[in-house]
Structure formats: C-alpha cells, structure tokens
Amino acid sequence: MKNTIFTGAGVAIVTPMFPDGSINYEKLGELIDFNIDNGTDAIVICGTTGESATMTDEEHVECIRYAVEKANKRVPVIAGTGSNDTKYAVELSKEAEKIGADALLLVTPYYNKTSQEGLIRHFTQIADAVNIPIILYNVPSRTGVNISVDTIAKLAEHKNICAVKEASGNISSIAKIAAVCGDKIDIYSGNDDQIVPIMALGGKGVISVLSNCMPFETHEICSLCLENKYDEARAKALSLLDFTNKLFSDVNPIPVKQALNFMGFEVGKCRLPLVDMSESAASSLRESMVKLGLVK
C-alpha cells in the first residue's frame, strides 16, 4: 500500500493573466490563499485548467516555484509536468521535484500519441527519474489516448506511480481499475460531475475545476463521501450540477475564468487560441451563479 497524496478536493487552479497575456502572480497568490482558506486539500498547478499548454518553459517552472512557496506546506502542491516528449517530461519533472513540488501530474502523450506499450515506457522512464509521487492523468477527450485498465495495473507496480486522475468519463472502466488495482493505486475523479460515483467506488477525491469558485462546497462533497454520507453528498453535488455543467459549456478553462471574473477575482482572459465565451453563454453562466449566491 502506497501513501496517499491527498484526500478530498484538489483544485486545478487557473493561471491569472494581465491584459497583455503575462502571468499575474499576485492574483495567483490570492487564488491559492482563497482556496486553502476555504478547505481545498491540494493545489494542482500548471494543469489543463492552468493553461500549461501555452506556457513557456520559464513560466512553467516559475509558476510551480511560486505555488510551492505560497502554499508553504499548508497543503500539497502537485505540479503538472506531462508532455508528449518523454525527455522533456523527465527534465521538467526533475525540476519540479527540485523546486519542492510534493507530487507530479502526468498527462498522457498527445498528438503524436502512442501505444499502450509506449505509455508504459513513457511513464516508467519519468517515474524512474524522480523520487516523489506521480498521478497519471487519463483524459482521452483531450489527448486522443486512453490508458487501459491493464496498463494502469502494470504502472501501479512502480513505487512512485501512486494515483490516477480519471477524466475518461467511463465509470465502468474506473470500476475495473478499482477492482484490479485495489490499494496499489488511488483514484481521483477528473470530472466534477462524477465525484460521488467515483468516490463510491473507492476514489480518494477529485482534481477539480469547480473548486476554483466553490472550494468549500467541493471539499464538503468529498468529506461527506469519505464519511460514507452519500445521501448528503449526492444532494449537495446535484444542487451544484447546473453550475458544474456551465463550467464546461465551452473549452476549459474559458468558463471558469469568466466565472472568477464575475466573482471579482480579475483573473483576465485565456491565451489564444482560447477566446471569450459568447455573450449568451456568459449570461447563462452568470444566471447559474446568481442562483447559488456567487454573484448578485
């Protein structure tokens, strides 16, 4: 049995931007404090929601460094260091470990893609190069690659591969992972609308977009599940479902940045090629937030 990196809700935190597209580190610090002060159980920096795909190498490293220093051991900091280039992922992962990240989040290779054997070699080479825990990130809708249950089972034998963030949406596959791997690997939901069913299968929590706006409530859903209070957790999750769905009504992180701006956080826009929501979609998002009391 491996040590669990965190239980509960880890926020896949956005990267605030100035109007010129540069990173607003002061605002990032405000978001980190807001999340930690409201119950978030881990900070995931430089993930998909953090727009890592458009960061320079220097920005990527500096964001990880900033998050580690700002969190100051209050909660674990998990650094997104995945790439479709194995050598680059190794180098970035080693740098994140050196900076002080508590764990790594490694997305599957994208665009060039690979076979299941390629996935095993890719993740194993990265895992061999570091001495901190690794969370595999399975999100085939983004990458075009799905990590099979058998591949996860093989990778779970590595001492540093401790968890998988499952954003495939395939509950049957996730159930098989739980059945086959047992306590050799932890499972985190990668979808905010599947926290309760995945935790009912033994999942440890969620890596969440919703937590950016509602950290306490997302943490609470996870806590209720961990306490086997599934009726309450389900009711809470369903009460937030409309807003959760609105956060994915456009390409992530476009809606969550818009939501945070509605809340007054002034996180700016996304970098191109991501563009603003349509006026009608933004209006619908705001209406959902008004109903929850997030904005007036």
Residues of the chain whose pLDDT is less than 70?
none
Tell me what pLDDT residue 241 has: 98
Q: What is the pLDDT of residue 1?
A: 72
Given this model, what pLDDT does residue 2 score?
Answer: 85
Q: What is the pLDDT of residue 282?
A: 98
- What is the model's pTM? 0.97
Nearest-5° Cα angle at 267, 265 to 269 = 140
What's the pLDDT at 212? 98
pLDDT number for residue 87: 98
pLDDT of residue 270: 98
Instruction: Give pLDDT, residue 219.
Output: 98
Residues 6+ apart with CB under 8 A from 280: none
Structural domains in the chain plus CATH codes: 8-229 (3.20.20.70)
Catalytic residues: 137, 165
